[in-house]
A and B are shown apart, each in its own frame.
Chain A
Amino acid sequence: MTEPRSAGESLRHAMDSGEVLLVAAAGMLVVAAVAQTAAVGVVQLRTALAFGGLIAFGEVLRLSLPGGREVAPIASAGAFAYAVIVKVGMVPATQPALQVVAVAAVGMVLGAMPHLAAGRPAGLTGIASRLVAVAVVAAAFRPLSRSITITAPEDWWVALAAMAGLLVVGWLVECLIGALISANALRARFGVALWDEMRVQLPLGVAVTATAILIAFAADMMGLAALGLFIAPLLITQLAFRRYAGIRATYLQTVRALARVTEVGGYVEDGHARRVGQLAVAVGRDLGMNEPELLELEYAALMHDIGQLSLRDPIPGGATVLASRDDQQRIAELGANVIGETGVLPRVAELVRCQHRPWRGPNGGPPVGSRIIRAANAFDDLVGSSAEPSRSTAALERLRLDTATEYDPLVVEALARVAGRRQVPAGRLPAC
């Protein structure tokens, strides 16, 4: 496998324990599958080569979904189809489950090579979770395949139900793995992580499942030509997803960059917006917010000071925690108006509008997101880019003193947990 080469520099971040476990498990599975297949010989070599090629091709074309999830819909569809295929050109397909795993593994690893050559991460975690899902489906379906026929009208319903059911299980396995990994790496709550994973993976999962079933049915009639025919439409689906993911990433990048205008304008300290953004997201995650909520929270936290642009003169030092209540309210209102102008971020505007309000206010107080921004902003105003634990402790102490009215105690406690976890301070030093 490619692990030795990639472990050093090509991996974006060091693998955490969950990922190592997953890759090791998948690695052992692959070794067993390849050894067994090599020992008994490859059944129906042409079919195996065609599917292996399709899987490798799909792996080359993998893409990142929002939230940094690497998916390879074409590779998944190819591998799942190979697992549930019954006949190819009217000849029964007889590959055993371990051969399915071996072919999928070889295809995926070959498909990862161009990524390595281009200096991108190998994506072992993604490959491993795809492989495990395929192995589950293949192990359940291959033994059945002899007793399933898809030509007689009364039989294909059974075949269809078996395929669909198992592919849904495969999809769930993949979601489960993804959720376990992100819950472990990001300290998200498992239930929330699983829900996020399923929500993001659902559309492509549906397309992949339907495509795999269609390939399995069509291969009976068309032979291996079915594979070629299916690449084009799924490619288009993938292209649409790639553009969608791309614009999402650009959006976030742009908001992050433009949030810095307050820093360049001398309104706030360097790196303030980004640090508050990171801190707020970490606190929100700790409190069990899901990804759409976290994205809105991040936008609001990044832009929470944008209203200062409308002030005639910067507040000295830019620290809004020291500004008067009236000034804070004006900044919040002005900022919310700017964001409201977009017409597309109404909830973000609301979060910014309420950021100055004490948590124990009328009408149940401000939204949780606003409370988080308020606390994160105060914390960063007091600590800044300093790495000293004593300042962080002192700042937390000060926030705790104000939990009677100003800061939500739950938020402050989450903030304390997040700040305590970070040996490196809340945000690395600003770039410039």
Chain B
Amino acid sequence: MVTGNGHRLNGEPPSRLSLAAWLYMAVVVAGTVIVLVQALGSDAETDSAGTKSGITLVVLALLFLVCDSTPTTLTSRQSAWSPSSSATLAAVVLLGPLGAMAVGAASLLSVRRGAGFVQRVFSASVYGLSGYCAGRAYLALGGSVGLPRHAAFPAIIVPFAVAAVVHVFLNHGLLLGMLMLDPPVAAGQPGRAAGRHIPLLFFSDLGYATLGLLIAALWGGGPGAFTAILVLVPLFVARWAMGQFAAQERAYAATMAALCQAVETKDLYTRGHSERVARGSAMIAQEVGMRGSRVEAIRYAGMLHDVGKLGVPTTVLRKNGPLTEEEFAAIQLHPMRGIEIVREIGFLDEALAGIMHHHERIDGLGYPMGLAGDEIPEFARVIAVADAFDAMTSNRSYRGARSIEDAVADLRRWSGTQFDPVLVEAFVAALSRAGWYQPEAGAPQPADSVPAADHDDPTAPLQVIEGR
């Protein structure tokens, strides 16, 4: 279950919420209260006053709280995951809609760091509402409330499955609405990380919702409420694995970034270049609607695109004045050298083509192969735009950093000859929304090595001495 907490971590004061987000929360909470009042009026038949169901309610609510209080944070702490939906779904069967609502509302008492009162009320409403609706769906399809009898299987599975789907959809839908109205800004990548994990969260939730039926079924049989503890075991193992995965993924990203930075130390001017190209490429990829995994791949391709520069002698990279043909050939080779290094990284398939061809031009005058137009892999066309843009907006020894407006104008000027016009416009659109971190003016460069050109910078192309 995606916890509301994940969307607003760090205990940010609620006053920072936009008006729309406030209204949204108010509507959800009010809706829950209305449903509750109506249900209390009409659902007299599902009166659960007996001590037996009282104990059931308490145990399920505790189960819910244990799950909900220790969510596993996924990448960049934007969304957290906990298997608490199984408790709510068990309540759907054992206690009916109202009981499910009560178990979900236990979220109010959840022990989470940094969750404010408003936050708690909102997530309690979301869980309560989705629990209630799941319970209604279960009843509507002929499910019966109470300890499931022997004869109830397997007929109970259909209403239960529908209830699980309703619950997961409502829960994610309501929280997603909040996420859209109030995107987390802290991580610098609005909603990206959270969005990428939504399918996984969705399916894992559905999986754990099915455990709710198991809890319900075993409740009456042999081990009784003890099964609740037994059911927790696989849940926590899965959570552990998800946590390990997320930690490894963060470590991986950090290692990749650090290694790329190490590569950059060879060229003082390109500090942070690969990170910015990675970011720019991902912005374009998202803008043109690539799916999550491709955006991830292009981010890494952008980060690694200049790794091959290591194969170019420092003297050539930092040369002041025109290059000889041999030297230019050495520079033209750097995408190939890059491939040589990253070829063995399995997941990079499409990214490899992006790295190899990021200096091709739409008019066919680029290198290393002189591909033109659509022959150039899409990844390479994306990286080319981000790469040139960052080169233009960074400091160079031969000129200061150019303004973003100038750089955009230049991108447009070369759109169609050097760059893919569609991608240039996509980048401009993404820029106007998300902005750009322009690198600060760097430290003064050592005077002995001031190249007057940069292989990435279309405004100052490399000068080559023709023929010899």
Contacts and interface: CB of A to CB of B under 8 A. Distances in A.
B202 to A, nearest CB: 11
A237 B227 contact: no
Contact of B314 (A244, A247, A313, A344): A313
A229 B210 contact: yes
Contacts of A361: none
B154 A223 contact: yes
Contacts of A204: 237
A264 B311 contact: yes
Contacts of B101: none
Nearest to B260: A258
A240 B242 contact: yes
B314 A251 contact: no
Given A257-B343, A432-B340, A342 B214 contact: no
A116 B42 CA distance: 60
B57 interface: no
Nearest to B250: A344
Interface in A203-249: 203-204, 206-207, 210-211, 213-214, 217-218, 220-223, 225-226, 228-230, 232-237, 239-241, 243-244, 247-249
In the complex, which of the residues B148, B200, B245, B265 has the most CB atoms of chain A within 10 Å of its own CB atom?
B245
Interface string B216-229: 01101111100100
A310 B265 contact: yes
A265 interface: yes
Nearest to A207: B237
B221 A214 contact: no
B337 interface: yes
Interface string B24-49: 00000000000000000000000000
A233 B210 contact: yes
Contact of B218 (A221, A240, A253): A221
Given A151-B222, A156-B222, A254 B255 contact: yes
Given A210-B233, A247-B249, A264-B308, A258 B221 contact: no
A339 B259 CA distance: 8
A58 to B, nearest CB: 14
Given A229-B210, A255-B255, A261-B307, A222 B262 contact: no
B135 to A, nearest CB: 19
Nearest to B206: A232
A220 B222 contact: yes
A127 B150 CA distance: 36
B230 interface: yes
B63 to A, nearest CB: 15
B231 interface: yes
Nearest to B210: A232
A256 B339 CA distance: 14
A345 B251 contact: yes
In the complex, which of the residues A218, A236, A339 has the most CB atoms of chain B within 10 Å of its own CB atom?
A236
A7 interface: no
A343 B345 CA distance: 22
A367 B153 CA distance: 61
B189 interface: no
A236 B214 contact: no
B418 to A, nearest CB: 27
Contacts of A223: 153-154
B342 A237 contact: no
A338 B261 CA distance: 8
A389 B314 CA distance: 37
A260 B214 contact: no
A206 B237 contact: yes
Contact of A229 (B213, B227, B340): B213
Contacts of A241: 241
Nearest to A303: B259
A8 interface: no
A155 B224 CA distance: 13
In the complex, which of the residues B234, B242, B347 has the most CB atoms of chain A within 10 Å of its own CB atom?
B234
Contact of B255 (A248, A266, A312, A342): A342
B230 A250 contact: no
A250 B345 contact: yes
A204 B238 CA distance: 9
A251 to B, nearest CB: 5
Contact of B262 (A160, A250, A260, A309): A309
In the complex, which of the residues B217, B222, B235 has the most CB atoms of chain A within 10 Å of its own CB atom?
B222
A249 B208 CA distance: 27
A232 B218 contact: no
A206 B240 CA distance: 12
Interface string A133-160: 0000000000000000011010110011
B294 interface: no
A235 to B, nearest CB: 6
A312 B248 CA distance: 33
Contacts of B148: 221
Nearest to A250: B347
Given A253-B346, A264-B340, A341-B261, A237 B238 contact: yes
A237 B234 contact: yes
Contacts of A206: 233, 237
A306 interface: yes
B252 interface: yes
B255 A345 contact: yes
In the complex, which of the residues A217, A258, A266 has the most CB atoms of chain B within 10 Å of its own CB atom?
A258
A90 interface: yes
Contacts of A234: 234
Contacts of A240: 204, 238, 241-242, 245
In the complex, which of the residues B204, B258, B342 has the most CB atoms of chain A within 10 Å of its own CB atom?
B258
Contacts of A220: 221-222
A256 B344 contact: yes
B203 interface: yes
Contacts of A251: 248, 251-252, 255
A150 B259 CA distance: 58
B310 interface: yes
A233 B233 CA distance: 11
Contact of A203 (B206, B214, B237, B308): B237
B255 to A, nearest CB: 5
B209 to A, nearest CB: 9
B464 interface: no
Given A151-B221, A222-B153, A264-B308, A214 B258 contact: no
B207 interface: yes
B211 interface: yes
B310 A264 contact: yes
A303 to B, nearest CB: 8
Given A155-B222, A225-B154, A342-B255, 11 more contacts: A153-B224, A206-B233, A217-B221, A217-B227, A229-B210, A237-B234, A240-B238, A264-B340, A341-B261, A344-B250, A344-B251
30 contacts: A89-B150, A153-B224, A156-B222, A160-B223, A210-B234, A210-B237, A214-B231, A214-B234, A217-B218, A217-B227, A221-B148, A223-B154, A225-B154, A228-B157, A229-B213, A232-B207, A240-B245, A241-B241, A243-B200, A244-B241, A250-B252, A254-B255, A258-B259, A261-B262, A261-B263, A261-B307, A261-B341, A266-B311, A266-B313, A432-B340
Interface of B: 148, 150, 153-154, 157, 200, 203-204, 206-208, 210-211, 213-214, 217-218, 220-224, 227, 230-231, 233-235, 237-238, 240-242, 244-245, 248-252, 254-259, 261-263, 265-266, 307-308, 310-311, 313-314, 337, 340-347
